[in-house]
Homo-oligomer: A and B are copies of this chain.
Amino acid sequence: MTDFDEAVAFAERLADAAAAEIRVRFRQVVKTERKADVTPVTEADRAAERAIRAMLAAERPDDGIAGEEYGATGGHSNFTWVVDPIDGTKAFMTGRPTFVTLIALLENDRPVLGIIEQPITRDRWIGAEGRPTTLNGQPIRTRACAELHAASFSTTGPDLFPAEDDPVYRALSDGAGIQTYGGDGYAYGLLAAGWIDVVLESGLKLHDFAALAPVVQGAGGVITDWSGRPLRSGSSGRVLAVGSPDLHSRLLERIRAIRLDRPES
């Protein structure tokens, strides 16, 4: 086993531990709190992140940690684990099995490993630099889609775009063949597997997007910010993921043309 093989195997064990904490709390009475940024959080979010942090402290003590619920802990290696225990807390709270656990490994500021896990349906996507992305152990590929009007477009919710980003959202969503909502990180897994063609989001944080990049790229898709730059810690949080590289290029052109008229953004 190389070091990287070991990191992938360890990441899978982190996902197992988080899933065990989440499964026992799904569709139980949920005590919800609001965090300082008014987004909801449940005991399942916290218990899953604590389980992951305990394993990291025991087995990867030199690596840094950045978790949604318990913040950042510096490390001494070049590696940082980025964790969102429940991406899609509202879906979890309403009993929908479409939330995901996101686990990423950054080497310096570059995501080199990502897991997207749905603990109820037991869908697990693994993306690792230089390898084909798998869904439940099987290699997957994005599908070809030549034109936006033939594309299946997805975003978590139309109200999540700030006013300055709304023209881009409207242009891509209205131009697509079908639109679906909800899904958070789950939608990027569905894109990697060839069931969705375009995902557009705004306002994502590092723990939201770090795991997505290796999964989408290892399946043949392209995921960047709205200027075409790779996703790194410090990215704007505006994300465009497209299954077909050629369509990704053309959508970037569309976005650039729209945003030229909006010099404030």
Contact = CB atoms under 8 A, between A and B. Distances in A.
Interface of A: 27, 30, 40, 90-91, 93-98, 120-121, 152, 154, 157-159, 178-183, 186-187, 190, 193, 195-196
Query: How many identical subunits does the complex contain?
Result: 2
A179 B157 contact: yes
A34 to B, nearest CB: 9
Given A96-B190, A195-B27, A196-B95, A90 B180 contact: yes
A152 B94 contact: yes
Given A27-B193, A120-B121, A121-B121, A94 B154 contact: yes
Contacts of A190: 94-96
A71 to B, nearest CB: 24
8 contacts: A27-B193, A27-B195, A90-B179, A94-B152, A96-B186, A98-B98, A158-B159, A159-B179
A181 B181 contact: yes
A180 B121 contact: no
B178 A93 contact: yes
B98 A178 contact: no
A180 B93 CA distance: 10
A224 to B, nearest CB: 22
Nearest to A121: B97
Contacts of A158: 158-159
A96 B99 CA distance: 11
Nearest to A182: B182
Nearest to A26: B195
Given A97-B121, A152-B93, A190-B96, A178 B40 contact: yes
Contacts of A196: 94-95
A137 B181 CA distance: 30
Nearest to A195: B95
A124 to B, nearest CB: 14
Contacts of A90: 178-180
Contacts of A96: 98, 180, 182-183, 186, 190
Contacts of A179: 90, 157, 159
10 cross-chain pairs, A with B, having the tightest CB-CB distances, nearest first: A95-B195, A182-B182, A181-B181, A95-B190, A94-B195, A90-B180, A94-B180, A94-B196, A181-B182, A90-B178
A96 B100 CA distance: 13
Contacts of A195: 27, 30, 93-95
Nearest to A153: B94
Contacts of A157: 179, 181
